[in-house]
């Protein structure tokens, strides 16, 4: 079925393109052998099917580059955007530290119920703390101190205040 014709110049066996296509389907090892033989011969002697196969591979290799460049550009841009605020915050940290004040103790004249609400709002609702107790916006809350102060006030507060506090405390956590 398949014929082998010797090449006149090298006296090696050369396959026609149609035979190579048939050979590729029937015997892959023989096709690879013919392909490697074509690489060793001069380009003018290489069968046209192998040249077409090499062109397809070359197109596939080069077609990755146009796809790869936008992807790499997007990844680089995303990394730049992601890293930019961290450098900005690090540069602004000394200036912002001068504006920040720690949370002060509640006024002594406040009732234990009001003091408990003060510490509850400090822990769970800072906007309400600013609104009800006139705390500055740039205030740092020490959560361990606020939790301890609220824990100490719990036995002395009434039911309505306890109800307000319980709405803020996450479920499954007790004070």
Span 127-132, average pLDDT: 91
Q: Please state which of the ranges 24-38, 47-61, 132-146 shows the lowest mean pLDDT.
A: 47-61
Residue 1 is predicted with a pLDDT of: 47
Write out the two tokens for 122: 């400090």
The DSSP result for 118-168, as a single string, is HHHHHHH-HHHHHHHH---SSEE--HHHHHHHHHHHGGG--HHHHHHHHHH
Q: What is the pLDDT of residues 135-162, one digit of tens each?
A: 988 888 999 999 999 999 999 999 999 9
Write the burial class of residue 137 (CB in 10 Å: 0-12 exposed, 13-18 middle, 19+ buried).
exposed
Point out which residues pair with 13 in neighbouring strands: 6
What DSSP element (H or E) covers 72?
A: helix 48-97
In this structure, of 57-71, 105-119, 149-163, the range with the lowest mean pLDDT score is: 57-71
């Amino acid at each position: 079925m398949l014929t082998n014709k010797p090449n006149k110049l090298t006296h090696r066996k050369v396959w026609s393109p149609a035979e190579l296509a048939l050979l590729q389907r029937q015997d892959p090892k023989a096709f690879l052998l013919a392909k490697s033989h074509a690489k060793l011969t001069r380009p003018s002697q290489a069968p046209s099917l192998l040249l077409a196969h090499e062109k397809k591979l070359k197109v596939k290799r080069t077609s990755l580059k146009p796809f790869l460049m936008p992807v790499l550009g997007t990844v680089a841009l995303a990394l730049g955007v992601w890293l930019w605020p961290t450098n900005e915050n690090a540069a602004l940290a000394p200036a912002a530290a001068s504006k920040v004040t720690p949370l002060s103790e509640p006024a002594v004249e406040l009732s234990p119920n009001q003091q408990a609400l003060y510490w509850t709002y400090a822990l769970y609702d800072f906007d309400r703390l600013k609104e009800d107790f006139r705390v500055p916006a740039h205030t740092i809350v020490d959560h361990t101190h606020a939790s301890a102060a609220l824990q100490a006030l719990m036995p002395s507060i009434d039911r309505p205040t306890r109800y307000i506090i319980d709405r803020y405390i996450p479920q499954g956590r007790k004070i």
